[in-house]
Amino acid sequence: MLESSKEVLEAEQRFLTGENFYVQHFLGVHKNENGYVFRVWAPHAQQVYLVGDFNDWDESLPMEKREKSGVWELATSLAEEGQLYKFLVQQANGRKIMKIDPFAVRFEERPGTAAVIYTIPEKKWHDNLWRGRQKKTQTLKRPMNIYEVHASSWKHDESGQPYTFKELEEELIPYVKEMDYTHIEFLPLMEHPLGASWGYQLTGFFALSSYYGTPVEFRDFVDSCHKNNIGVFVDWVPAHFCVNEDTLPYYDGTPTFEYEDPNRAHNIRWGTICFDLGKPQVQSFLISSALFWLDVYHLDGMRVDAVTSMLYLDYDEGPWQPNHEGGNRNFEGFYFLQKLNAVIKLAFPQTVMMAEESSSETQITGMIESGALGFDYKWNMGWMNDVLRFYEMDPVFRKDNFHLLTFSFMYMMNEHYILPFSHDEVVHGKKSLMHKMWGDRYKQFAQLRNMYTFMMTHPGKKILFMGSEWGQFLEWKYNEGLEWVDLEDELNNKMQHFTAKLNSLYKDERSLWELEDTAETVELIDADNTAESVLTFIRKSKTKRDFLIIALNLTPVERQDFAIGVPYPGSYQEVLNTEKIEFGGTWTKNNSRCQSIDQPFKQFNQQIQTVLPALGALIIKPEEIQMK
């Protein structure tokens, strides 16, 4: 709440220049000593009325315009906490239309769209220890294994209703802890009118969707996550917004939040409206939204959705105009994203900023001063597409397509990557991860274990969509709970156990994340064995004795006496065999300890020999080695 007219004037000026990053304290609804003050930005409106439960939704409360900024305001003693309200906007052409408050922090439940007069109460947080630890070390130097969740379809109660955050606190947090994930990432939690959009077509950029519970419940959830050493990320969508007429589009009858050019304003592919990312007021709006979520809810980071669409003028399906240099770069989007990351890192240096971005023409991660966008991580969509294509393939053809697995080692240091098996890959007829795998059901589980092992041992942070941890066969349905009944099946149950075991190994083995930002983190042993379709490589830590050898057999043929080059003489022991019976395979015990022999293998002077299970993966660790 702004206390004085001077503060209001300063907030107004910063809003106009794109430098008010807490603009929700100026716009929206705020309690004062005589009631509430309402403000809304509609610069070209002829008139704006405040309407709501307090005046029977009539035109008895006209607002006054602040000419400098085009902000309309009204102070009233009639309004009370919990009442519904909207703004009746007489647009530039004289048409009157009900509009939502873009800065509301609470909305009524669907299908209603009115804002609620709501003051988020103060909270005493209990996560100082967690937040202190995050400030001490960079995320690049820590394990990050993310469980991606759609809040309203993780689990439903007996009546078929989705869990609220109060219920998720009781069940999701213990589950994530038991499965040994380090973070939870939610699909967008902001207010949206249509569940089928999964939250990616927003209307309330400052409001937790009432469908998921209350702000109090969500803050308690985050607090509880932190007390259990679990980080919380949320997807956020600054590229575009919902097309519904009573929300943000053409708010005052003219392009307000969107681009002037209708070809740039309308996203044909998604049926949405694109923000004018070069407009100062829009920059204040969006950056304030991001900081609001980080500040009020103590989030550990955000995944920025649809970054590619903000970077390139020709991304959509409609006509487009080149920029002033004759190219396809969207300079407004590029500089907005740099500004967003700079402001967030200044306010909350420990925040993890992630980009969902699918091109290779722009440096996404790294220092802004070097020309990058300033994100901490980029989703590696190329790795994901190549890997899924490979594992869907009949093994007969894998020897001719081995580059799909090995190519990523050529560019793995170009960005700081997250390896995603996300919600986008298990819907719209793409099949679940389990269903994508080649072969019969037994082979599908074997390959799923193999693929997860590759993900967990390949450089990059990890993300896996809910239900994939036990190999749910059906595609994800946004309006139903996961198929928890699957866990009554022995193979699904063992698959879940395997994922938990793999997650635990990832957290415990420093070689899988300690040097991840350097090329020294990985050394290929043999990436050319296309004939047998076996990939072997080493992951390293700062301590030379501490490394892991990974062997992936990508065919349904067991490899006896298989040679693997090793850097030092000594003994080596399996720490993971994906074909163990406890994981759903047939092996009752691990391979015996291997003793190296003095026989060259590529760049190595020593080698070990072991048995590679059909469609299996091994992780091998040095036990007693001799180092010069």
Q: What is the largest CA-CA distance in the chain?
A: 92
Q: How far apart are CA 454 and CA 526, in angstroms?
A: 15
pLDDT number for residue 5: 85
pLDDT number for residue 136: 80
Sign (positive or negative) of CA dihedral 78, 80, 84, 89: positive
Amino acid making up residue 100:
I
**Cα 483-488-493 angle, rounded to 5 deg:** 90
Buried b (16+ CB within 10 A) or exposed e, 419-448: bbbbbbbbeeeebbbbebbbeeeeebbbbb
Fold of the 519-625 domain: Immunoglobulin-like (2.60.40)
Q: What are the tens digits of pLDDT across the range 322-362?
A: 999 999 999 999 999 999 999 999 999 999 999 999 999 99
Q: Taking the complete model, does pTM exceed 0.85, yes or no?
A: yes
Q: How far apart are CA 100 and CA 87, in angstroms?
A: 6
**Cα 544-540-411 angle, rounded to 5 deg:** 140
Chosen CATH of 5-116 out of 1.10.260.40, 3.30.450.20, 3.20.20.70, 2.60.40.10: 2.60.40.10
The series of mean pLDDT values per 10 residues for the chain, 628 residues long, is 81 97 97 95 98 97 96 97 98 98 97 96 96 86 96 95 95 98 98 95 97 96 98 98 98 98 95 98 98 98 98 94 96 98 97 96 96 98 97 97 97 97 96 97 98 98 98 97 98 98 98 95 98 98 96 97 97 98 96 96 96 98 90
Q: What are the tens digits of pLDDT across the range 466-484?
A: 999 999 999 999 999 999 9
Q: What are the tens digits of pLDDT across the range 377-408?
A: 999 999 999 999 999 999 999 999 999 999 99
- Per DSSP, the residues of 16-46 read HTT--TTGGGTSEEEEETTEEEEEEE-TT-S
pLDDT number for residue 1: 58
Q: Are strands 84-90 and 47-52 parallel, antiparallel or unpaired?
A: antiparallel
pLDDT number for residue 608: 98
Q: Which residue has the tokens 């029977």?
A: 56
Question: Domain residues of the chain, as ranges?
Answer: 5-116, 144-508, 519-625
Q: Are 257 and 158 in contact (CB under 8 A)?
A: no
Q: How far apart are CA 486 and CA 23, in angstroms?
A: 47
Fold of the 144-508 domain: TIM Barrel (3.20.20)
Q: Are 386 and 397 in contact (CB under 8 A)?
A: no
Catalytic residue numbers read 305, 356
Residue 322, preceding bond cis, omega within 30 degrees? no
Question: Are 144-508 and 519-625 the same fold in CATH?
Answer: no
Bridge partners of 375, per DSSP, are: 365
Amino acid making up residue 476:
W
